[in-house]
């Protein structure tokens, strides 16, 4: 079963691939044949749709000057339509020939893959960038053997042991942008697919549920996008950034919220962290304690606590950033700001620097907490009678100036030893 939307995306990928290979043009007929062979289905009934997608991608379009950023919205710029040799209305759909110049003029985005991507996955990443839908399709086919994701980032970066180099940050951002562009292009193709309702003749290819063609009674514009919000890339399925503490548990730097919750529950079961008497209760181990900042929680509170460790990948600088959310009554601190601060490297006090003994003078708060816990753990400093109490050894005494502290207090006390540059001065 291949939906029109998926087909549109496959067509888009093929066009990009052709352009990337140096191809100068492509016909709807060729697309029907190539894609049909590739997918193992007869796409001739879909020729009309394919033509519409090609028109949307290359037809009344092409860029005047290649966008230095490699943005692929260029093909939609009407300025170069003529130059690109757009299709003529009289030509039979299948034989229409579309120049891929537009697609190639906006150079097929093959940005440098950040070096932290394992060598063996660089090719995969390039493949993904040039043909995301095909790549995803291939991945689904190979689902059985769970090979490591090409997006895996070495643990040293993931857990903040090592700051991500500036250049890589920029590249990572670029990758996110590219993915966003892919989505936009796919959305455009979707619109084209929806707008290709077969002028006179019946589409005769309504496979699954007989597409309610007479649904023209519907509203209009926005209604036509009635692809139903069902597991799309947005909303709950939006990939969000994961805090270093949570990464240690779920294992990925970016996941959909639903996936994070799933992985978290898997971790809880794996480590037998549910209270046997009340399975709703979660008993935190060291890693979980870093995330939830408590010794135990329940499954309902868990989601709330989790939200502190999940944040959008892209900054909301565009569109309608604060339109809705913004109700800063001034009373409560804005948590997003708070969590952002948690991600900033802070200045380390002399005492703390001495405690670490590594000479590091900058550190993310969470990393400092983690290291202190490592010390507590490795020196067995938890009170055997009450694990929530930490019995300070000489080093901890020197750092915190007390004989004991609560597990809760570690993070709080560390705050006294970490400060921003501005507060330092």
Q: Which residues bind DNA (CB under 7 A)?
A: 219, 222-223, 225-232, 234-236, 238, 257-258, 261-262, 265, 269, 274, 278-280, 299-301, 303-304, 307, 312, 316, 323-325
Smallest gap from residue 415 Cβ to DNA (A): 23
Smallest gap from residue 357 Cβ to DNA (A): 39
Smallest gap from residue 96 Cβ to DNA (A): 30
Which residue lies nearer to DNA by CB, 65 or 211?
211
List CB contacts of 55: < 8 A, sequence separation 6 or more: 86, 87, 98, 192
CB-side neighbour CA atoms (13 Å) of 375: 21
Which residue lies nearer to DNA by CB, 303 or 404?
303
Can you tell me whether residue 61 is helix, strand or coil? coil
Smallest gap from residue 257 Cβ to DNA (A): 5
Tokens of 113: 């893959």
Instruction: Confirm if 81 and 59 have CB atoms less than 8 A apart.
Output: yes
Smallest gap from residue 261 Cβ to DNA (A): 5
Among 46, 50, 13, 6, smallest CA distance to 28 is for 50
Cα(337)–Cα(334) distance, rounded to whole angstroms? 6
Which residue lies nearer to DNA by CB, 226 or 387?
226
Q: Enter the DSSP assignment of 382.
A: B
Which residue lies nearer to DNA by CB, 122 or 184?
184
Smallest gap from residue 321 Cβ to DNA (A): 10
Cα(21)–Cα(133) distance, rounded to whole angstroms? 17
Which residue lies nearer to DNA by CB, 56 or 239?
239
Which residue lies nearer to DNA by CB, 341 or 351?
341
Tokens of 296: 């135990």
List CB contacts of 393: < 8 A, sequence separation 6 or more: 379, 381
H helix intervals, 24-80: 28-39, 47-57
Which residue lies nearer to DNA by CB, 156 or 307?
307
Instruction: Confirm if 214 and 28 have CB atoms less than 8 A apart.
Output: no
């Amino acid at each position: 079963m291949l939906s029109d939307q998926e087909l549109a995306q496959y067509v888009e990928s093929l066009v990009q691939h052709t352009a990337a290979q140096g191809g100068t043009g492509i016909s709807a007929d060729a697309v029907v044949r190539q894609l049909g062979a590739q997918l193992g289905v007869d796409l001739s009934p879909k020729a009309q749709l394919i033509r519409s997608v090609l028109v949307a991608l290359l037809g009344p379009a092409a860029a005047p000057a290649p966008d230095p950023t490699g943005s692929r919205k260029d093909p939609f710029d009407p300025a170069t339509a003529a130059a690109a040799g757009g299709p003529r209305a009289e030509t039979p759909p299948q034989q229409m020939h579309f120049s891929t110049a537009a697609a190639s003029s906006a150079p097929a985005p093959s940005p440098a893959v950040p070096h932290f991507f394992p060598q063996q996955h660089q090719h995969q990443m390039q493949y993904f960038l040039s043909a995301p839908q095909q790549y995803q399709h291939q991945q689904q086919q190979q689902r059985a053997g769970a090979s490591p994701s090409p997006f895996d980032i070495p643990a040293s970066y993931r857990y903040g042991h090592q700051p991500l180099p500036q250049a890589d940050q920029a590249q990572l951002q670029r990758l996110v942008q590219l993915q966003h562009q892919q989505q936009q292009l796919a959305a455009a193709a979707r619109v084209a697919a929806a707008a290709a309702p077969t002028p006179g003749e019946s589409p005769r290819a309504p496979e699954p549920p007989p597409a309610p063609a007479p649904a023209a009674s519907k509203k209009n514009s926005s209604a036509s996008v009635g692809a139903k919000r069902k597991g799309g890339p947005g909303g709950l399925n939006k990939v969000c950034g994961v805090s270093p503490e949570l990464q240690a548990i779920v294992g990925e730097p970016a996941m959909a919220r639903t996936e994070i919750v799933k992985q978290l529950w898997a971790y809880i079961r794996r480590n037998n962290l549910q209270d046997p008497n009340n399975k709703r209760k979660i008993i935190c181990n060291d890693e979980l304690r870093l995330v939830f900042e408590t010794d135990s929680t329940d499954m309902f509170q868990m989601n709330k606590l989790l939200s502190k460790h999940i944040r959008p990948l892209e900054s909301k600088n565009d569109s309608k950033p604060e339109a809705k959310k913004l109700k800063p009554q001034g009373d409560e601190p804005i948590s997003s700001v708070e969590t952002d601060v948690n991600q900033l490297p802070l200045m380390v006090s002399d005492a703390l620097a001495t405690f670490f003994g590594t000479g590091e003078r900058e550190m993310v708060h969470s990393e400092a907490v983690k290291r202190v816990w490592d010390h507590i753990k490795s020196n067995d400093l938890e009170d055997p009678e009450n694990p929530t109490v930490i019995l300070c050894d000489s080093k901890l005494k020197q750092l915190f100036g007390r004989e004991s502290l609560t597990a809760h207090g570690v993070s709080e006390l560390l705050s006294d030893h970490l400060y921003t540059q501005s507060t330092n001065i």
